[in-house]
Amino acid sequence: MSSSAAYGATNSSMDDEDKYARHQRACCVRYGNTRVLCAASGAHHFPLMWHIGPNWLCMLVTYAISLGPLAFFFMKDDVVLALRVALLVSVVATTCAFTMVACSDPGVVFESCEPPATLQVGDAELGVICAQCQIRRPYDASHCSDCGVCIAQLDHHCPWTGKCIGGRTLRWFYVFLACVSVHVVLVGVTAATSYLT
């Protein structure tokens, strides 16, 4: 499965078919401390790829925290219908955004990316060798010791999502933060309204 193509900053010139062939239609393929539960060829985002990190129990706790208020407030009859609808919409949006972050590939460098066989004048060898993984990774990738893999455009490791936030999941992470902020405000308003009535 060696390729003579070099890995670019955000895209690979490798064929996605080759890159993901090792775990296409596979169950529980392990990369470092992360697992690809299932993946379609060339897919990076949930639902075509289910990728979880080492802190998957924290991920389940986060789901429970976001879904818990929904069950509590929907069992109460004194909550205004408009607040119920707003709370339902915020829970769905928060859960969808969180799932996109928690179950998508954050940008794992799955295999060593070899430099071109011949370099032209002015070309530089792309990538560096990771001291931990012993693979060639792009310059914008960093090794996450929690996940045990290199992540392209690594932002941070988030235990609440269960894994790293990288180049492929950063936008969804910001969407999740916005949704959870609105969700917390709505839960507060719903709790205050329920308490006052």
What pTM was estimated for this model as a whole? 0.77
What pLDDT does residue 15 have?
A: 44
**CB count, 10 Å around CB of 17?**
10
Tokens describing residue 66: 């976001």
Task: Name, in order, each residue with C-beta under 8 angstroms of 169's C-beta and a sequence gap of 6 or more.
Answer: 100, 101, 104, 105, 106, 107, 161
Q: Which residues pair with 108 in a beta bridge?
A: 151
Angle of helix 170-196 versus helix 81-102 axis, rounded to 10: 150
What pLDDT does residue 13 have?
A: 38
- Mean pLDDT, each 10-residue run in order, the chain (197 residues): 36 42 62 87 81 94 85 75 88 94 91 55 64 86 94 95 95 96 90 80
Helix (H, G, I), strand (E, B) or coil at 47: coil
Q: Do the Cβ atoms of 32 and 149 come closer than 8 Å?
A: yes
In terms of DSSP H, where are the helices of the chain? 16-20, 56-75, 81-102, 170-196
Q: What is the C-alpha to C-alpha distance for residues 151 and 158, in angstroms, rounded to an integer? A: 13
Nearest to 126 by CA among 113, 117, 135: 113
Number of residues that this document lists for the chain: 197
Q: Do the Cβ atoms of 161 and 146 come closer than 8 Å?
A: no
What pLDDT does residue 20 have?
A: 44
Tokens describing residue 63: 């789901």
